[in-house]
């Protein structure tokens, strides 16, 4: 460890460059991961906030909830047989406020359930983002396909679907707007694997999210970027320590001739890697957590402690693997040959 620390002090510039690169890559990874999580919530908070359970849609819907229509008798049987079950539907639409300004929303209606907001005929409960747009409790809003008017009953926090604020309405009003009598989906809470129901296809929460085209495509792209950055950081470690090791062949030869074991040389390299990585990660974690304070208002950004810890552990592992692969040549060093090739 003493040798490793002396080398860091002697070659400050080299280690500062590596640390700066690791800092920039890890910081960018944290920011993109935060954006991915934020967009995930903004796209499907309505679904993600539900407890673990099973979603059911019609077999003939081809895994597209918009095409699903669940027979009323099947729906009633499931709701009667399952304790925490609810039927619900989602459709994109819009509402007009008192100033005739149009707002895009995701209309949601459901059977009576603790999992969804309970609203009466002519009432509407909106995501709180619409309150920021000037809509208040008691306001009257309209929809061109609805013969009556909606009275704003209240607001809920962080309920989005397909990047649009959710609007909970009564089943009767929903049927008038969209001209349908059947519900699209049935949700059974608290079951990792739900019962088989004739005519219906079941999905776990994760599987159902992946049936939403905008969600799966968006998350796949962002997650690919995150993992590319993680792999790049590992390659940077490997290349940097490989170049350092080539320059230190003579030093390794002398140390081996003096009886220093190969394992100790690897330990020296690993301690240097850990020192650089911890400092770089500390800075990048601090700045990425503070990013929420300077991010533009309305930007969907969510970097949880769990995600931060997981990515930090992955960076340390990647750094360890990269440094180890670059150090394989240390094991092959012959003292006399290395002394002849290198300089201390």
Encode pLDDT of 275-284 as tens digits: 888 999 999 9
Render pLDDT for 323-344 as a digit per residue (tens, 0 to 9). Answer: 787 777 677 666 665 556 554 4
Contact of 90 with 228, CB cutoff 8 Å: no
338: left (phi over 0), alpha (psi -120 to 50) or beta: alpha
HSE-up of 237 (CA within 13 Å, CB side)? 31
Q: Which string of b and e fits 150-166 if b means at least 16 CB within 10 Å?
A: bebbebeebbbbbebbb
Contact of 78 with 187, CB cutoff 8 Å: no
The helix (run of H) or strand (run of E) holding residue 110 is strand 102-110
Between the alpha carbon of residue 61 and those of residues 90, 195, 199, 206, 329, the distances in Å are 15, 19, 11, 18, 58
Between the alpha carbon of residue 156 and those of residues 110, 118, 251, the distances in Å are 16, 12, 66
Tokens coding 219: 């998350």
In terms of average pLDDT, the best of 253-262, 264-273, 303-312 is 303-312
pLDDT band at 269 (very low <50, low <70, confident <90, very high): confident
Q: Which string of b and e fits 110-135 if b means at least 16 CB within 10 Å?
A: bbebebbbebeebbbbbbebbbeeeb
Give the per-residue pLDDT at 344.
42
Distance CA 59, CA 198 (A): 9
Residue 54 neighbours by CB under 8 Å, 6+ apart: 187, 188, 191, 193, 194, 202, 203, 204
Query: Residue 29, SS3?
Result: helix
**Mean pLDDT, residues 65-81:** 88
Contact of 304 with 49, CB cutoff 8 Å: no
Give the per-residue pLDDT at 107.
95
Contact of 200 with 59, CB cutoff 8 Å: yes
**Torsion 208-64-165-120 (CA) sign:** negative
| Percent of residues, the chain, with pLDDT higher than 70 | 92
The pTM of the full predicted model, rounded to 2 decimals, is 0.76
| Percent of residues, the chain, with pLDDT higher than 90 | 25
Render pLDDT for 171-227 as a digit per residue (tens, 0 to 9). Answer: 999 999 999 989 999 999 876 676 778 888 889 888 888 888 778 778 888 888 888
């Amino acid at each position: 460890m003493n040798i490793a620390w002396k080398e860091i002090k002697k070659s400050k510039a080299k280690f500062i460059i590596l640390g700066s690169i690791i800092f920039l890559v890890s910081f960018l990874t944290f920011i993109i991961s935060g954006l991915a999580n934020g967009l995930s919530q903004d796209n499907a908070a309505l679904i993600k906030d539900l407890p673990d359970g099973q979603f059911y849609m019609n077999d003939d819907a081809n895994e597209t909830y918009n095409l699903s229509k669940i027979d009323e008798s099947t729906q009633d049987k499931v709701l009667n047989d399952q304790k925490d079950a609810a039927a619900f539907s989602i459709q994109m639409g819009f509402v007009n406020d008192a100033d005739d300004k149009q707002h895009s929303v995701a209309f949601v209606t459901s059977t009576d359930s603790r999992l969804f907001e309970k609203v009466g005929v002519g009432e509407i409960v909106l995501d709180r983002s619409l309150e920021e747009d000037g809509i208040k409790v008691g306001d009257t809003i309209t929809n061109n396909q609805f013969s009556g008017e909606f009275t704003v009953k209240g607001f809920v926090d962080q309920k989005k679907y397909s990047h649009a604020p959710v609007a909970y309405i009564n089943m009767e009003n929903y049927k008038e707007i969209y001209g349908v009598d059947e519900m699209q989906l049935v949700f059974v809470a608290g079951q990792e694997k739900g019962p088989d129901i004739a005519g219906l296809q079941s999905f776990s929460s994760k599987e159902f999210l992946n049936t939403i085209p905008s969600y799966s495509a968006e998350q796949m792209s962002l997650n690919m970027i995150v993992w590319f950055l993680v792999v790049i950081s590992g390659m940077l470690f490997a290349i940097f320590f490989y170049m350092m090791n080539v320059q230190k062949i003579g030093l390794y030869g002398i140390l081996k001739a003096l009886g220093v074991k190969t394992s100790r040389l690897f330990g020296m390299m690993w301690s240097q890697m850990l020192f650089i990585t911890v400092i770089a990660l500390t800075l990048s974690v601090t700045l990425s957590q503070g990013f929420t304070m300077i991010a533009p208002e309305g930007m969907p950004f969510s970097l949880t402690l769990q995600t931060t810890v997981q990515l930090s552990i992955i960076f340390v592992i990647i750094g360890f693997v990269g440094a180890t692969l670059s150090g394989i040549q240390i094991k092959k060093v012959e003292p006399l040959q290395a002394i002849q090739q290198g300089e201390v």
